[in-house]
Amino acid sequence: MSRRIAAQLPDSLLNVLRTGSTALLVTLGEDGFPNTAFTWVLAVTATTIRFGADHGSATLSNLEREGRASLQIIGEGNLIFLIKGTTRQIKPQIEAAPFKIAMLAMEVAMVKDQSWPGVNIHHLRYEWSPEQRQEMLAMERAVYAEMREWQV
pLDDT tens digits for 62-100? 999 999 999 999 988 888 999 999 999 999 999 999 999
In terms of CATH architecture, what is 5-149? Roll (2.30)
Residue 1: which pLDDT band, with cuts at 50, 70 and 90?
A: very low
Q: Counting beta carbons within 10 angstroms of the beta carbon of residue 44, is it exposed (0 to 12), middle (13 to 18) or buried (19 or more)?
A: middle
| Percent of the chain predicted with pLDDT > 70 | 98
Domain ranges of the chain: 5-149
CA dist., res. 104 & res. 148, Å (int): 12
